[in-house]
Chains A and B, each alone.
Chain A
Amino acid sequence: MPGADKEADLTERIEAFLADLKRGGCGTGPIRGSGETARETTALLRKVTAQARWSSAGDLMEIIRKEGRRMTAAQPSETTVGNMVLRVLKIIREEYARSRGSSEETDQQESLHKLLTSGGLSEENFRQHFVHLKANVIEAINELLTELDGTTDNIAMQALEHIHSNEVIMTVGRSRTVEAFLKDAARKRKFHVIVAECAPFCQGHEMATNLSKASIETTVIADAAIFAVMSRVNKVIIGTQTVLANGGLRAVNGTHTVALAARHHSTPLIVCAPMFKLSPQFPNEEDTFHKFVSPHEVLPFTEGEILSKVNVHCPVFDYVPPELITLFISNIGGNAPSYIYRLMSELYHPEDHDL
């Protein structure tokens, strides 16, 4: 039966995606960049919407929630997957509300007034069936995909507003967004970039080679020299893995040191992060915040006898509090960290925050 084939095909694709996610857990980062992960997730969700059997919005949301839980469980540190699931859920809610004819604002936030007057849970249960809901949802997801395709270019377009000539810019590790940002600015301005190599994975080396191929004056420094050279740096531009709900960052390890050094020298810290990295998580879950990889990167097995007597840690991420950040540059423009909560409310629905 064609239906069964399609379903099998869909399941296969989901399984392949999950396997990729699980494998991408080594320290050098996922096999794909986070942009590609986001696109892949959204494409999969579109397929699920198109091929799965559902009759009302509520059913669809249940199916997507189920798949979403499986995907986030495969690699909890890869938050873009969960973010995309939340985006799709929000799209479904919006399309449902539009089909029903009610304005979008009414069931948006929980105000105290609403809590008192409605007296209990919202009666909205998404059980109504609408004929064109499927088409609308798929169209909206296509729009989302187009938006995802253009994020890096949107961010790179803003580069000239933030970089003047003869600047010294510092960056940490490797971020495709920052690379595009700097390359775009280099077309018109001349500046100098200092890249901190970010041991033990040394992704900064790849970043430096790519930047120098675009004829940008690049210098590679060891992590230990970050504070030493910070006094000559005009701006720090970094990428991040996740933007947390309070405006803080979960970024590659070493970023907190860079942020502190920048604060000490009153150097602005600019974070280039597309909106799909914004996650509704807060940083206070101690045991789930950090991710560790094999300590052999830090102390190789060749060290011999002392290995059994020593604890070796190799954390991958660092928490950067929002007070140290000056500006977020995303595909929808520049924002202060204090505005992040507002952006979150536009992207995700509060009831979806816990999948």
Chain B
Amino acid sequence: MADCGEPDGPGNKDDITRSKNEGKELSKEEKQRLRKQKKQQKKQKERKNEKSETEKEKTPVSLLPPPRPVATQKAPSALPAPASAPIPVPASAPFHSSPAPSPADKPAKSKAELKAERRARQETDRAAKQPGSSSSGIKTKVPLSELNPVVKRLPEHVQVDDPAVVKRLAKKLERQQIPLRSDYGYKVSLFSHLHQYSRKAPLTQQLSIPSTVIHPSIVRLGLQYSQGIVAGSNARSVALLHAFKQVIRDYTTPPNEELSRDLVNKLKPYISFLNQCRPLSASMGNAIKYIKKEISNIPSQCKEEEAKTKLLTCIDRYIEEKIVLAAKAISKYAIEKISDGDVILVYGCSSLVNNILCEAFEKSRKFRVIVVDSRPRLEGREALRRLVQRGISCTYVLISALSYILPEVSKVFLGAHALLANGYVMSRVGTSQIALVARTFNVPVLVCCETYKFCEKVQTDSFVSNELDDPDDLMVTRKGKTQLENWQDVSSLGLLNLVYDVTPPDFVDLVITDLGMIPCTSVPVVLRVKNLDQ
């Protein structure tokens, strides 16, 4: 393997390491084939010898078209091997002779020059190729493009353990002039692929204030997210949309640029920044997709003022439709499910569920509420305050007392952070536990969720994609003693503070959405209907 390696020139580190990795994968399969075809290709070898240095980098890159997700790295390298007879042959021969060409030329060439050379080579190569080989060239391209729609690009925030991905993200953030947030504390090995940030080190400390790159309302929003001041799926989406409205108001199209393209590019660094402050939620992702679509649909002859007002009204309408009116519709359906004398159990603070309960109380239903809360976030206290203010009689327990309190309960209402395409409900950690114990006691579980939170992801456990909160939150001081005070110093001790978990659909009896009351498994149907509408 080592013989295929090219020495790292200082100027071309990135390209060469990339191609080196891919070269290594190809060379294993290629070597045997090369030995067989060596004698036949001698003539072409002599012809290509002069271009050998640069082709080594070019051919692996050209055989592996742009999206280079981790999963597909093996696949494309396997595909060229069987169908590779004519094409890589001219270039594969140089593989074999790789030690021969002078490595001394490499450091001298810069990245841009290499790129230009590569492009030139590609043109000449394509012209020089025989019809037979060019068709097989297309053949290799086709199966790869078939692969692309099936394998989506993995989001960066679940690939923290892959150094290549982390490096790529760092480069991207550097380009956008956004500081990179560093991980904090010992990460439990099961979750080494996720980020873990500390609340005491917000991203804004590394920014210069006033920041010229990021709009101040976005900076403020990012800080509110990372400190937990704005929390909850709906609250975060609404805050995001309001911040974007402010951005649009302050935006002016630079000369020679189109608003539809430039504004989208302007929003990209903001979204990266917010992602660094706190990973985006599914609802925020859907809202951003909607805004980007609306912006790119602005016709080019539209005047700037008109375009801006159009966008602002679009955003207002989105909030009105998807959040406010949806909440009203859900309340209407849910109130049918609440009867007099009910004892309703809720978990944490879901704005939608609180809304439903308050509306039901207004409509003079007689019920009482049990609020279940959990450390370390203790969001249930906020829900308790809101409900008690309305005059609803409430009981408050911690989640460990669930088995004690459930025999009294007649219904469980849960909120959701997102509904996944395989029917699983992603919600605050602890929700799956409540659904499990409720099922054991034969208490119906109803999940309330607006349709804009439905997402195409599929997930079966809470490990692959989750959010790790600040581990220091788990520390508690009782009677003047903090047991876990020096947990960082103890090497074998780790704290795990999960934010989300997924509830399997067999624990959930009903999902109440603005489209009606559906079972958990109908989520992909709703997604399809929504896509057709749009």
Contact = CB atoms under 8 A, between A and B. Distances in A.
B433 A199 contact: no
Given A312-B395, A318-B403, A225 B492 contact: no
Nearest to B190: A232
Contacts of A115: none
A202 B400 CA distance: 11
Nearest to A318: B403
A228 B503 CA distance: 9
A219 B191 CA distance: 12
Interface stretch (B233-241, B380-388, B445-453): B380-388
Interface stretch (B212-220, B260-268, B271-279, B476-484): B476-484
Interface string A200-234: 11100110110011011111111111111101100
A2 B493 CA distance: 57
A100 interface: no
A227 B404 contact: no
Contacts, number: 164
A311 interface: yes
Contacts of B381: 299, 303
Contact of B400 (A198, A215, A217, A311): A198
B501 A213 contact: no
B188 to A, nearest CB: 5
A83 interface: no
Contacts of B179: none
26 contacts: A199-B374, A202-B476, A205-B484, A212-B492, A213-B490, A215-B492, A218-B493, A219-B188, A222-B497, A223-B374, A224-B399, A228-B462, A229-B498, A253-B403, A257-B437, A260-B440, A261-B436, A264-B436, A298-B397, A306-B388, A310-B384, A311-B396, A314-B397, A314-B401, A318-B404, A319-B403
Nearest to B462: A228
A195 to B, nearest CB: 10
B5 interface: no
A225 B495 CA distance: 12
Contacts of A228: 429, 432-433, 462, 498, 501-502
A287 B499 CA distance: 37
Interface string B161-195: 00000000000000000000000000010100000
B474 A197 contact: yes
Given A212-B492, A257-B433, A313 B484 contact: no
B398 interface: yes
A19 to B, nearest CB: 21
B231 interface: no
A208 B188 CA distance: 14
A228 B393 CA distance: 31
Contact of A231 (B395, B399, B461): B461
A227 B500 CA distance: 12
Interface string A238-276: 000000000000000110110011001000000000000
Contacts of A232: 190, 463
Nearest to B484: A205
Nearest to A300: B381
Interface string B298-313: 0000000000000000
A298 B404 CA distance: 15
A224 B430 contact: yes
B493 to A, nearest CB: 4
A83 B413 CA distance: 43
The 4 closest A-B pairs by CB, nearest first: A224-B430, A254-B400, A205-B483, A256-B403
Contacts of A212: 490, 492-493
Contacts of B402: 256-257
B400 A199 contact: yes
A140 to B, nearest CB: 40
B493 A220 contact: yes
A219 B494 contact: yes
A224 B374 contact: yes
Contact of A197 (B375, B385, B437): B375
Contact of B385 (A229, A306, A315): A306
A164 interface: no
Contact of B401 (A216, A225, A253): A253
A313 to B, nearest CB: 5
B493 A208 contact: yes
A217 B401 contact: no
**Residue among B388, B398, B400, B487 having the largest count of chain A Cβ atoms under 10 Å:** B400
A257 B403 contact: yes
A313 B404 contact: yes
